[in-house]
Amino acid sequence: MKELTCQIRQNYQLWPYSEEDLDELKGFHPNQLVRIKVYGTTKQRSLKQLRTYWRACKKVADNTDDFRWNDKNKTDFQCRVALHFVDPKITVVRPDGQVIFKYRSISFANLKHIEACRYFDRAFEIMALKIGKTVEELYKESE
């Protein structure tokens, strides 16, 4: 049995992902029926991305006088609040009508790659706006 990696393209056509996969595929004849097993792969979260985020939180904390943003953990929390990054399964409504939210964790165990990218992109916009910089400037200064 041969194992190769393919990419799904338009009209659900499978294309070999690398030269080695193409060589493996050439071992079969054109129009030959083959049985395949399909497993999706997910990209791993980036430690560099997470570290850049925390450095940006520190940069914002160091460049603001707002007591709600003057610590990197406070900055992180303010981003989660601004993005309404809550866990809907743990939202509680008290008898007096007050809603209590549980904010989601950005840990590797709780947040997948694509969702993390979306969160960090939006959080960088909020942090850059807070200190009057562009997202690109904040990102470069936080690398």
Classified as helix, coil or strand, 92 is: strand
Per residue in 6-56, pLDDT (tens digit) is 877 888 788 888 888 888 888 888 788 777 777 777 778 889 999 999 999
Q: How far apart are CA 26 and CA 88, in angstroms?
A: 49
Q: Which two tokens stand for residue 53?
A: 């985020």
Record the pTM: 0.69
Q: For residues 108 and 45, is the Cβ–Cβ distance under 8 A?
A: yes
Q: Which among 38, 49, 40, 39 is positioned nearest to 111, based on CA atoms?
A: 49
Quote the pLDDT of residue 68.
95
Check residue 13 and give its pLDDT.
81
Determine whether 23 is exposed, middle or buried from the number of CB atoms within 10 Å of its CB (0-12, 13-18, 19+): exposed
Mean of pLDDT over the chain: 89
117-143 average pLDDT score: 94
Do the Cβ atoms of 104 and 91 come closer than 8 Å?
A: no
Query: pLDDT at position 27, please?
Result: 84
- Overall size of the chain counted in residues: 143
Distance between CA 47 and CA 38 in Å, rounded? 28
- Which position has the higher pLDDT, 9 or 93? 93
75-89 pLDDT, tens digit each: 999 999 999 999 888
